[in-house]
Amino acid sequence: MEAEERRPGPTGADAAISSGLFSHDEEHSRELDEEAEQEALNRIILAFRDYPQSAEWEVARWQFNYTQLPPHHKALVPHLPAKLAAARRAAQTNAFFIKSLLQAFSPEAASGPLPPSSMLPHPENPEPGAGSGAGPAAHSHGHTHGLASCGAACGAEGQGQGQAKGAGRGPGDKEDGLQPVDSHDVEKVRYVLKNIARDWSAEGAAERAMSYGKILDELKVVFKDWSNPNRAPRVLIPGAGLARLCVEVAGLGYEAQGNEFSYFMLLASSFILNHTTEPNQYTIHPWMHSNSNHLSDEDQLRAVPVPDVLPAQLAEGTHGRVPGLLSMCAGDFVEVYSEPDQRGLFDCVVTCFFIDTAHNVLKYLEVISHCLAPGGTWINLGPLLYHWADAHTYLPGMELSIELSLDDIRTAAQAMGFRMVREEMLDAPYMADPRSMHKTVYQAVFWTMTKERDWEPPAAAAAATPVQPPPPPPPRKK
């Protein structure tokens, strides 16, 4: 779950602009939005393109630390030079995958120049947008120097021996006085690799079974008596990430719509869904970037083939089921699905590791109620790791973060017209390396609620007196 830049959903605004339905001020505002949108996308593309440099810098750091050992300590770990060479080959394989992803999106994104004016957001301006995934978007900067394509650093099928350009600099360093790729964006690219292993590898099957599997089984129960001969049940999956759950829902014969706004996730999911042609077509090394908690070097550097199955085949249906329909909507969940045309559109909303990504979780509940049909079902699985709770520690301003207990959310949902059908607490790992000495496992809530009535918020009361935000926290040593 990662909260990054949002991408506005399909609203038909482009057609409205071309037909003159917007005023001059509205058109100007839309132009500014589009500029910010392109700026955010360029920043993410640059983060992907920076992967060979940032990965090589990390391996070079390991190598430097090894050289500081005295000879008698080096003699105890004589295999470390071979590990460093293997780590570089693993990084080159990852770089080949990332370049293939960008090439599928746009050849220019993979290696061509990007407009300098939109590659370097002003340091004092936060990135546009915010929303769901695993942690909020940090205030970030792009850089204006054009990165070379992977070239020799990728090699044939990512197996070449070349060293990436700029290998001596770290993710937080400046080069030639220009802003570097932000360290948070460097980490998000690595996060994408781990997410791909979770969603689209055989290795991730056990973890998926503990979350996606529970949800899929519950959907079968919810719709076992579906009697509408004209259409299949419509299921909305906000925070869809890399879309594995969406594809599996479509495989049950339902109409599945995923919603996502993170460009990191949108680019990666589009590549997996639309540009893979055979199982295990690519290889990634998602766990290579940290030396901590590995039983062996082989575990750390192991190859993970992806995808384990072609998405099109997975969506074709199983056990004699009629294939369902799959669509993806890029946009902010609240903005897209609170629109009037979304009212009562879905028979089920599935939230998996999602509701704690809200600035205001009560608004999420309101939108879920809005887009659910009367008698519709809300299936939720996940923890309450509120991702905007510490945003003040790295963003320049205050971000709204409403952090409620599970009891509060349950009570609010019932007040909004939901009835609890079933609830349990279960262990749910998230993006855990199955061979690691450290795993993140949540005691997650898993519930099914039914919408028994529509909920309309009461009329707005008189405007409250504005409240000043608290002062900034006291300075701390870095």
DSSP for 121-176? --TTSPPS---SSSSPPPP-----SPPPPSGGGT-GGG---PPPTTTTS-TT--BT
Indicate if the alpha-carbon torsion angle 403, 126, 168, 112 is positive or negative. Answer: positive
Distance CA 362, CA 368 (A): 10
| Residue 131 near residue 6, CB atoms below 8 Å | yes
Q: What is the rounded CA–CA span in Å between residue 194 and residue 196?
A: 5
Res. 425: pLDDT tops 70: yes
Looking at residue 40, its pLDDT comes to 85
> Which range is least confidently modeled, 134-148, 190-204, 372-386, 445-459?
134-148
Higher pLDDT, 9 or 275: 275
**What is the mean predicted confidence (pLDDT) over 392-414?**
92
Predicted local confidence at residue 138, as pLDDT: 34
Phi, psi of 406 (to 5 degrees): -60, -40
What gap in Å lies between CA 434 and CA 187, rounded to an integer?
20
More confident residue, 210 or 9: 210
Q: How far apart are CA 303 and CA 287, in angstroms?
A: 9
pLDDT (0 to 100) of residue 176: 43
Mean pLDDT of all residues in 120-146? 34
Average pLDDT over residues 361-369: 98
11-15, 146-150, 247-251 — most confident range: 247-251
C-alpha 248/C-alpha 209 separation (Å) is 12
N residues, the chain: 478
Banded model confidence at residue 99, pLDDT cuts 50, 70, 90? very high
Indicate the pLDDT class of residue 1, thresholds 50, 70 and 90.
Answer: very low
- pLDDT of res. 22: 31
Among 119-123, 211-215, 234-238, the range scoring the smallest mean pLDDT is 119-123
The pTM assigned to this predicted structure is 0.80
Q: How far apart are CA 60 and CA 338, in angstroms?
A: 49
Check residues 423 and 182 and name the one with the higher pLDDT.
423
Report the CATH architecture of 192-451: 3-Layer(aba) Sandwich (3.40)
pLDDT at 459: 72
Q: Residue 454: is its pLDDT beyond 90?
A: yes
Q: 133's torsion region: left (phi>0), alpha (psi -120 to 50) or beta?
A: left
CA angle 45, 122, 107 (to 5 degrees): 20
Least confident of 139-148, 186-195, 418-427: 139-148
Q: Where are the alpha helices (DSSP H) in 50-139?
A: 51-67, 71-74, 80-105, 107-111, 116-119
> In whole angstroms, what is the distance from residue 202 CA to residue 170 CA?
33
Q: What are phi and psi of 186, to 5 degrees?
A: -55, -45
- According to the model, what pLDDT value does residue 464 have? 63
Angstrom distance (rounded) from CA 189 to CA 267: 11
Place 178 in a pLDDT band, splitting at 50, 70 and 90. very low
Contacts of 330 (CB under 8 A, 6+ apart): 7, 8, 9, 10, 259, 260, 261, 266
For residues 381-406, average pLDDT = 92
Residue type present at position 112: G
Could you give the CA distance from residue 278 to residue 104 in angstroms, rounded to a whole number? 16
pLDDT at 5 over 80: no
**Cα–Cα distance measured from residue 236 to residue 348, given in angstroms and rounded to the nearest whole number:** 6
Q: Kindly indicate the confidence band of residue 271, based on its pLDDT and cuts at 50, 70 and 90.
A: very high
Give the confidence band of 476 by pLDDT, cuts at 50, 70, 90. low
Mean pLDDT in residue range 112-134:
43
Quote the strand ranges of 202-301, DSSP E: 234-238, 255-260, 282-284
Return the pLDDT at 477: 65
Helix and strand totals (H; E) in the chain: 16, 9
Residue with tokens 């959903």: 9
Average pLDDT, the chain: 82
Dist CA 474 CA 477 (whole Å): 10
The CATH 3.40.50.150 domain(s) of the chain lie at: 192-451
Contact assessment for residue 201 and residue 307, using Cβ atoms and an 8 Å cutoff: yes
Residue 140 has pLDDT above 60, yes or no: no
Q: Do residues 215 and 352 lie in contact, with contact meaning Cβ atoms separated by under 8 Å?
A: yes
Tokens of 155: 């090699």
pLDDT band at 456 (very low <50, low <70, confident <90, very high): confident
Among 223, 230, 280, 271, CA closest to 249: 223
pLDDT above 70: percentage of residues in the chain: 76
